[in-house]
Amino acid sequence: MSNSPLVNCVVRSPNHSGNRTKTIDTITVHCMAGNLSVESCGALFAKSSRQASSNYGIGSDGRIGLYVDEANRSWCTSSSANDQRAITIEVANTEAKHPWPVSDKAYAALVKLCVDICKRNNIKRLVWSTAKNTRINHLDGCNMTVHRDYAAKACPGDYLYDRHAQLAAAVNSQLGGKTTPATGSGASVVSGSPSTGSKSDEKIIWDFLMGKIGNACGVAGLMGNLFAESALRSDNLQNTYEKKLGYSDDEYTAAVDCGDYTNFVKDSAGYGLAQWTHWSRKQGLLNYAKAQKKSICDLSMQLGYLYKELSESYKTVLSTLKKATSVQEASDVVLTKFERPANQNDSVKNTRASHGQKYYDAYADSKPEEKPVTTELAFAIGDTVQFTGTKHYTSSNANNAKSCKPGKAKVTAVAKNGKHQYHLVRVSGAGSTVYGWVNAADVAAIDASVKKGSKVKVKRGAKTYTGGNLAAFVYLTVYDVIEVSGDRVVIGKGKAVTAAMKAEDLIVQ
């Protein structure tokens, strides 16, 4: 059994169980919990007292180390059964704290190493699942596991854990010989959570649509059709296309999100809650997701796009949904005027209406769940805010929180209908450790008053206090406030004066 030719450094560890008892068919990615070089990580594993090892390690510089030959079982995942069949890989973290991020070079090297491991060990494709039971029991072909499955650990950290579907897509695009480039390692990362068709997701969808349509018969008729199309799963790839395209739901979603798959718009595959299929409607969905910086599978994003379509392009359908006096009436108009499948016979109509009736019976008399904020949100993506809370969540509707520190942060996503409306990422050097979804009540505006000592930028197009023009570079520069007198503000660098400005033409940084 060979080792990877990509290795730059070899530091063999005595901490292993000798020859494997199982065929290699799994890859388990770990994080080092520190920014170690491959040599430093190898030195730790070289100590017999450490009682731990991995097959490979990857540094932040993208170099790869070998610690335990692939032929041998490493001691890495707190599970003998897993490590007997898995190649284990430790990846360095650029920050030794949540969410344990890794460098672009390390991620790119991870993709290359996984491709090489798969090719040499005859692993046809990597399959990831977000369900722990599926992973640890290798159900449905799943062959990617994580340390947290077997021990009370955060490993591999949320940064890598959330990118496992993307990693599988990037690797599989090379294993399958697809013509699209494996660009996932350098692509911008989007956030978002798919619906699973669970009872809680049903209620989220019902409440959203009731808030827009306001008629239980109309909402039930629409939901019955959505169930028939996708089982209310927002990451659902049309079943007949999974084999044709060689992607599972997770892999297709990740490949679209990271840019590896570039034919989303015109591949004729139904996708998402409404199984959007026609190229123009899929283009609209893709554009909408990108504008919100959301995953193509995100439930809240797809609900927003669904209503956008109804209110802008299917006004007659929407009008009927708002006025329908029966689930059948509403269901039929969605079937024939909105979904428009090839088969629209009476049997199909009755089946879809029966699905809708179940939702009507379950939710028509229920009240929408109270949300922390039901009015227009105060902040938008890109705003810098003051985070005053001490907890953040992994999704906008998650129940379990993790502790973090308050401080200055940037809004990177907004979920108006979520329990936790803002996704915040800490601003470096500001003391905060927030990296997740937070409650609107814990987000406040930063004091934007201009005062001596403030850092400011000049609004584009503004003139001096007396009406004079400014050089183009001035609008791109951050200045110190040197003096404030009423609405007259003197700005410059240190004590060197640049100009006198009106306070209203300055933006506090």
CA count, 13 A, side-chain hemisphere, 45: 30
**The last residue of a domain, from among 186, 220, 244:** 186
What does the alpha-carbon distance between residue 99 and residue 158 come to, in Å, rounded to a whole number? 5
The domain that holds 226 is classified in CATH as: 1.10.530.10
Q: For residue 207, how many C-alpha atoms fall within 13 Å in the half-sphere facing its CB?
A: 19
327 and 302, same structural domain? yes
For residues 417 and 374, what is the distance between their CA atoms, to the nearest angstrom?
A: 8
Q: Which of residues 328, 363, 398 is at a domain's end?
A: 363
Q: Do 440 and 404 share a structural domain? A: yes
In terms of phi and psi (left: phi > 0; alpha: psi -120 to 50; beta: otherwise), the region of 199 is: alpha
Residue 291 counted as domain residue: yes
Residue 304 within any structural domain of the chain: yes
State how beta strands 9-10 and 72-74 pair: unpaired
Indicate if the pLDDT at residue 331 is higher than 60. Answer: yes
373 inside domain: no
Beta-carbon contacts of residue 477 (< 8 Å; ≥ 6 apart): 457, 458
Of the three residues 420, 445, 470, the one that is the final residue of a domain is: 445
Residue pLDDT, tens place only, 267-300: 999 999 999 999 999 999 999 998 888 889 999 9
We report the CATH number of the domain holding residue 28 as 3.40.80.10
Separation CA 334–CA 257 (nearest Å): 29
Q: Is the pLDDT of residue 184 over 50?
A: no
One domain, residues 159 and 301: no
> Quick one: average pLDDT of 216-229?
96
Helix (H, G, I), strand (E, B) or coil at 385: strand
Q: For position 187, what pLDDT does the model report?
A: 41
pLDDT digits (tens, 9 = 90+) for 388-438: 888 998 888 888 889 988 888 888 888 887 888 888 888 876 678 888 889
pLDDT at 487: 79
User: Do residue 119 and residue 69 come from a single domain?
Assistant: yes
Residue 273 has what DSSP assignment? Answer: T
Question: Based on the domain organization, do 404 and 359 belong to the same domain?
Answer: no
Which tens digits make up the pLDDT trace of 100-158? 999 989 999 999 999 999 999 999 999 988 888 989 999 988 999 999 999 988 999 98
256 vs 331, higher pLDDT: 331
| 108 inside domain | yes
What is the model's pLDDT at position 168? 86
Q: What are phi and psi of 486, to 5 degrees?
A: 65, -125
Count of CB atoms situated within 10 Å of the CB of 220: 31
Domain count, the chain: 4
Same-domain check for residues 225 and 331: yes
Q: Are residues 163 and 219 in the same domain?
A: no
The CA distance from 338 to 310, in Å, is 8
Give the CA radius of gyration of the chain: 27
In a domain, 17, yes or no: yes
Give residue 212's Cα distance to chain centre: 26
Q: Residue 399 falls within a domain, yes or no?
A: yes
DSSP 8-class letter at 440: G
Domain of residue 430, residue span:
384-445
What is the structure's pLDDT at 182? 32
Question: Would the pLDDT of 478 be above 60?
Answer: yes
How far apart, in whole angstroms, are the C-alpha atoms of residue 291 and residue 395? 19
The helix (H) or strand (E) run that includes residue 316 is helix 315-323
Same domain, yes or no: 212 and 101: no
pLDDT (0 to 100) of residue 188: 46
**In sequence order, which residues have a C-beta less than 8 Å from that of residue 224 and are 6 or more positions away?**
327, 331, 352, 353, 354, 355, 356, 357, 358, 359
In a domain, 464, yes or no: yes
